[in-house]
């Protein structure tokens, strides 16, 4: 599976969110959600998620930050990278109003994954080498599967 994504600068997105008094943050969130939905082969509900965040006065938004972590974990799994579940971290940061930190972490993780995928391999922490972590036939350093003891 390929990563359908163009990288976005974390610092630039944060600065634009501040300069536009948070308006760009909603565009950024829509972009992140659309990317994650697409990578998980799910129909994009990004606009509805943002509308529900407004309608429920932010209650759904807290859940949405948790959902971002779950979608990110699913994306890592589908792309062959080691699944990484930051949903609880995103939830806690969201409760304390640190949404920009959640967006920055998520954007950074997606950018890192995009870098690894553009080089043709699985994401960071992907599948182990075929003959154990040390390259030999077993998990012990210095072991040689072809050598009889």
pLDDT digits (tens, 9 = 90+) for 120-133: 765 555 544 444 44
- Domain residue ranges of the chain, discontinuous segments joined by +: 10-118
Tokens of 63: 């859940």
- pLDDT tens profile 83-94: 789 999 999 999
Which pTM value belongs to this model?
0.75
Per the model's pLDDT, the better-predicted residue between 115 and 97 turns out to be 97
Which pLDDT value is given to residue 8?
86
- pLDDT tens profile 41-57: 899 889 999 999 999 99
The percent of residues in the chain predicted with pLDDT above 90, rounded, is 53
**Mean pLDDT on 14-36:** 94
Which pLDDT value is given to residue 135?
43
Which pLDDT value is given to residue 71?
92
Using pLDDT thresholds of 50, 70 and 90, give the confidence band for residue 113: confident
């Amino acid at each position: 599976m390929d990563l359908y994504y163009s990288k976005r600068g974390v610092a630039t997105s944060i600065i634009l969110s501040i300069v536009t008094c948070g308006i760009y943050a909603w565009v950024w969130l829509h972009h992140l959600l659309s990317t994650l939905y697409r990578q998980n082969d799910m129909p994009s509900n990004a606009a509805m998620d943002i509308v529900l965040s407004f309608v429920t006065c932010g209650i759904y938004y807290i859940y949405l930050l948790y959902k971002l972590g779950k979608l990110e974990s699913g994306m890592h799994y589908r792309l062959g990278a080691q699944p990484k579940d930051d949903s609880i971290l995103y939830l806690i940061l969201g409760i304390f109003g640190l949404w920009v930190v959640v967006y920055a972490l998520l954007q950074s993780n997606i950018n890192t994954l995009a870098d690894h995928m553009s080089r043709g391999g699985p994401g960071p922490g992907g599948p182990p080498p075929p003959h154990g972590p040390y390259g030999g036939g077993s998990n012990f350093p210095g072991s040689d599967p072809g050598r009889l003891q």
